[in-house]
Each structure stands twice: as structure tokens, then as C-alpha cells.
């Protein structure tokens, strides 16, 4: 009798334990949906054709300018030199912009450095080689050597840029979404430069009846207006640190491109008499464009406040033959 009672109690205990375990057994988790993989993460894509396209457009623009612009005979650059100077300036702005458009800011910086430094260095070695071959350092060998050397340097940089650098990189740590207000900077800078173009195309500005250089007025208006308005836009959005970065870039970094303009234009045109003045002006205008794009595309973002995380409140309820665990978010 006693053993029968004990065995009955043990059996009842085991049965109730099995029933409780079956009741609180968690439901099988639903299979997680397949997370789509971005194309850049699965396989790298080549966008070098876009770099080649902007370089081709720069060469075509240089060819048009060489056939349409009139210079003083003493200051006339060669056709190859003018093509090289145009290719140098436009390529240094457009090709890094292509990289940035694909999210490769570091690669764009490398592209900018290559395009600013390599062609003038190649032009210098071209000048040395040509003059040494001809046995005399005279104007013709300087012009030919600089122009051809610069074109070779530009072609080499384009091949490296399009073939080795222009590849999509997988995004490891994507930037959190934010609000972009760079369109406000584009409007202000575009209006200032457009006003400068209108002023430069207006009536003669000096006593000799000569017009203002077509580069001076756009650069001066864009520089002066942007120097004030650019940081103010950032300050208005509460981005004080970026406003001061904008001020420094507009005040100092942009004008430094005058040195690159002198090196590139003098190398491409073979050192014509006014190459330093013309190169400095175009370097200033190119630096203004680069800084304006950098300010609007890189700096003009304001962070979005993250939504408050909801809390998990667990609940436990015990009923006849059941145990329920739940909660809410």
C-alpha cells in the first residue's frame, strides 16, 4: 500500500512536470528574412568609364578653346598646351567628384593629389629630355617638352585613376541618416559666381577700354560672398564647428590652388610670358569650385536625433497547468 502510494505520487509529479514543460515550451522562432546584400558588398563594380568620360569632356573642351580663343602673338600658347591646361584643370575637379559621388571620399582625395602633382612633374622632365636631345635650351624645346610631358603625365594619371582607383568599395560602417542642407550653399555660391560672370561680361572696366579678365570677377564675387555666407549657413543650422571649418577652407585652402594653377598652366603651355598670371587666376577659380563643392557635399549635414528606444516590460502569469511569459515594447 505504501509503495503504491509513493509510486503514484512520483508518477503524478513526473506527469505534471512534463505538462508544465510542454506548456511553456517556446514557439519555434520564425526564420529570419534574407537580408539583402548590397551590390558593393558582394562584388566590386567598376565605374572608371565615368572618369574616362569626364576626362574626354575636358579634352574636347580644350580642343574647342584652342580653336576659338585669340591670344596676343607674344602670349599665344600652343594648341597642345591649351588642351593640356584645360584637361589639367577640369580633370582635377571632375574626377575626384566622381569618386565622391560613389562614396569613395578617400579615393577622391588620392585622385586629386595625383592630378595636381604628377602632370607638372612630368612636364618638367619632358622639358629636360627634349632640350637635352636637341642640345640647347631654347624657347621651342621648352614649349614642346613641357606640353608633351604634361600630356603624357595626364594620360598616365587618367589610366591609374580609371583603371586602379575607380572601383566600388563595400560600406563597412554606413553613415547614419542625416539631413542635408548643402543645396542652400549651392544656391548662394552659384548666385555669387553668376553675378561675377555678368559683371565680367559687362562694360569695359579700365581706362584703356579693356574688359576685366573673365576669371577675376567670378572668383572675386564667389570668394567674398562665400567667405561670409558659407559659415553663416552652418551657424544657422547650429553646426558651429563645421562653420569654422568652412571659414578656414574658404579663406585659406581655396587660394592655395593658385600655386597648382601656375604649375599646371605653365607646364602645359610651355612657360609663355604670362603663364603665371593666367595659371594663378584659373587655379583660384578651380580652388573656389573645389571648396564650394566640399563645403556643400561633405560639411552641410546635420544629425538626426535618434528615436527614444522603447523599453521591454516582461509579464509572467501562472494558471492551472500552464505558465505564460510575455511582455510589451
Strand ranges, E, within the chain: 178-180, 301-303, 313-319, 322-328
Of 171, 198, 232, the last residue of a domain is: 171
Tell me the H-state helices in 46-78: 48-68
pLDDT of residue 187: 94
> Is 284 inside any structural domain?
yes
Closest CA to 126 of 102, 147, 145, 112: 145
Domain membership of residue 94 as a residue range: 45-171
Specify which residues 178 forms β-bridges with.
Answer: 303
- 277 in the same domain as 185: yes
Of 120, 154, 171, the last residue of a domain is: 171
Residue 294 pLDDT greater than 80, yes or no: yes
Class of residue 285 by CB neighbours under 10 A (exposed 0-12, middle 13-18, buried 19+): buried
φ and ψ of 303, to 5 deg: -70, 145
- 223 in the same domain as 160: no
- 267 in the same domain as 326: yes
Judge if pTM exceeds 0.85: no
- 163 in the same domain as 57: yes
The sign of the dihedral angle between the CA atoms of 62, 67, 70, 72 is positive
The answer to whether residues 119 and 153 touch, using CB atoms and an 8 Å cutoff, is yes
- 126 in the same domain as 195: no
- 225 in the same domain as 94: no
Region 122-146: what's the mean pLDDT? Answer: 77
Confidence grade of residue 109 (pLDDT, cut at 50, 70, 90): confident
Q: How far apart are CA 254 and CA 280, in angstroms?
A: 12
For 154-176, the pLDDT digits (tens) are 999 999 999 999 999 776 555 55
Cβ neighbors of 87 (< 8 A, separation 6 or more) are 55, 58, 59, 62, 151, 154, 268
For 115-126, the pLDDT digits (tens) are 988 988 888 888
For 196-211, the pLDDT digits (tens) are 888 877 765 556 656 6
For 36-82, the pLDDT digits (tens) are 444 443 345 999 999 999 999 999 998 988 888 776 666 667 788 88
Of 146, 171, 196, the last residue of a domain is: 171
pLDDT of residue 35: 46
The answer to whether residues 19 and 66 touch, using CB atoms and an 8 Å cutoff, is no
Q: How far apart are CA 212 and CA 202, in angstroms?
A: 9
Q: How far apart are CA 233 and CA 228, in angstroms?
A: 9
Residue 25 pLDDT greater than 60, yes or no: no
13-17, 106-110, 185-189, 284-288: range with highest mean pLDDT: 185-189
pLDDT of residue 309: 45
Q: How far apart are CA 315 and CA 221, in angstroms?
A: 67
- 326 in the same domain as 187: yes
CA-CA distances (angstroms) from residue 46 to 17, 51, 148, 150, 156? 63, 10, 29, 27, 18
Amino acid at each position: 500500500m505504501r509503495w503504491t502510494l509513493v509510486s503514484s505520487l512520483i508518477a503524478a509529479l513526473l506527469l505534471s512536470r512534463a505538462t508544465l514543460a510542454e506548456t511553456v515550451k517556446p514557439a519555434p522562432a520564425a526564420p529570419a528574412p534574407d537580408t539583402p546584400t548590397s551590390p558593393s558588398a558582394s562584388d566590386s563594380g567598376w565605374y572608371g568609364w565615368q572618369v574616362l568620360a569626364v576626362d574626354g569632356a575636358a579634352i574636347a573642351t580644350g580642343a574647342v578653346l584652342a580653336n576659338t580663343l585669340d591670344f596676343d602673338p607674344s602670349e599665344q600658347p600652343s594648341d597642345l598646351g591649351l588642351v593640356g591646361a584645360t584637361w589639367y584643370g577640369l580633370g582635377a575637379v571632375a574626377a575626384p567628384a566622381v569618386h565622391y559621388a560613389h562614396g569613395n571620399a578617400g579615393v577622391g582625395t588620392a585622385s586629386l593629389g595625383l592630378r595636381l602633382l604628377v602632370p607638372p612633374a612630368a612636364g618638367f622632365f619632358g622639358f629636360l629630355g627634349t632640350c637635352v636631345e636637341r642640345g640647347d635650351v631654347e624657347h621651342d624645346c621648352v614649349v614642346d617638352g613641357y606640353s608633351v610631358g604634361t600630356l603624357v603625365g595626364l594620360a598616365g594619371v587618367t589610366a591609374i585613376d580609371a583603371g586602379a582607383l575607380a572601383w566600388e568599395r563595400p560600406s563597412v560602417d554606413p553613415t547614419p541618416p542625416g539631413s542635408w542642407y548643402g543645396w542652400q550653399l549651392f544656391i548662394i555660391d552659384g548666385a555669387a559666381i553668376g553675378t561675377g560672370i555678368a559683371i565680367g561680361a559687362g562694360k569695359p572696366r579700365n581706362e584703356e577700354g579693356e574688359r576685366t579678365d573673365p576669371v577675376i570677377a567670378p572668383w572675386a564675387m564667389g570668394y567674398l560672398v562665400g567667405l561670409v555666407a558659407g559659415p553663416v549657413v552652418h551657424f544657422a543650422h547650429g553646426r558651429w564647428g563645421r562653420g569654422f571649418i568652412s571659414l578656414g577652407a574658404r579663406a585659406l585652402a581655396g587660394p592655395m590652388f593658385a600655386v597648382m594653377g601656375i604649375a599646371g598652366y605653365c607646364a602645359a603651355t610651355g612657360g609663355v610670358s604670362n603663364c603665371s598670371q593666367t595659371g594663378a587666376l584659373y587655379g583660384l577659380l578651380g580652388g573656389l569650385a573645389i571648396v564650394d563643392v566640399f563645403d556643400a557635399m561633405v560639411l552641410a549635414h546635420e544629425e538626426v536625433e535618434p528615436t527614444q528606444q522603447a523599453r521591454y516590460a516582461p509579464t509572467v502569469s501562472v494558471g492551472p497547468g500552464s505558465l505564460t511569459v510575455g511582455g510589451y515594447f
